[in-house]
């Protein structure tokens, strides 16, 4: 079972990634291109060129999880880049990203002032 509270860091891999890989392919990418250990209890996010599909690699201590999400409409607001660098995002930014929102929101909710009578 994935406990999202146990996720140490969330890394978004900038640019497009070939999503035909499996767990071993993404673990090799994390180790080789990012220079990080895929077993460090971090979540690694990868997105395709069209930005309508993403995969997440996560190690929970007993094994790897490979999560896949496809948008029915629209696309993920992904950070574009030619190289495969990774940036750290917060758990809140992950939630926004998975809901199809930008990871840089000015406000989490609209501030509405109501007059008191």
Could you report the per-residue pLDDT of 96-110, keeping only the tens digit for each?
Answer: 888 888 888 766 666
Q: According to the model, what pLDDT value does residue 36 have?
A: 95
Structural domains counted in the chain? 1
Q: Does 103 reside within a domain?
A: no
Q: In 3-state terms, what secondary structure has residue 98?
A: helix
Q: Does 30 reside within a domain?
A: yes
Q: Does 53 reside within a domain?
A: yes
Q: Does 104 reside within a domain?
A: no
Q: Does 110 reside within a domain?
A: no
Q: Does 113 reside within a domain?
A: no
Quote the domain boundaries for residue 94: 4-98
- pTM of structure: 0.83
Could you report the per-residue pLDDT of 27-59, keeping only the tens digit for each?
Answer: 999 999 899 999 999 999 999 999 999 999 999
Q: Does 18 reside within a domain?
A: yes
Q: According to the model, what pLDDT value does residue 81 have?
A: 65
Q: Does 108 reside within a domain?
A: no
Query: How far, in Å, are 15, 104, 106, 114 from residue 109 at the CA level?
Result: 28, 13, 9, 15
Residue with tokens 């007993």: 62
Beta bridge partners of 68: 55
Q: According to the model, what pLDDT value does residue 69 have?
A: 95
């Amino acid at each position: 079972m994935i406990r999202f509270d146990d996720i140490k860091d969330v890394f978004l891999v900038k640019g497009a990634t070939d999503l035909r890989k499996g767990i071993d392919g993404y673990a090799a990418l994390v180790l080789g291109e990012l220079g990080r250990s895929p077993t460090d209890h971090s979540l690694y996010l990868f997105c395709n060129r069209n930005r309508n599909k993403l995969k997440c690699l996560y190690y929970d201590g007993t094994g790897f999880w490979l999560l896949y999400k496809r948008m029915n409409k629209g696309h993920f607001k992904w950070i574009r880049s030619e190289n495969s660098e990774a940036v750290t995002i917060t758990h809140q930014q992950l939630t926004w990203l998975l809901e199809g929102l930008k990871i840089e929101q000015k406000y989490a909710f609209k501030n509405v002032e109501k007059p008191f009578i």
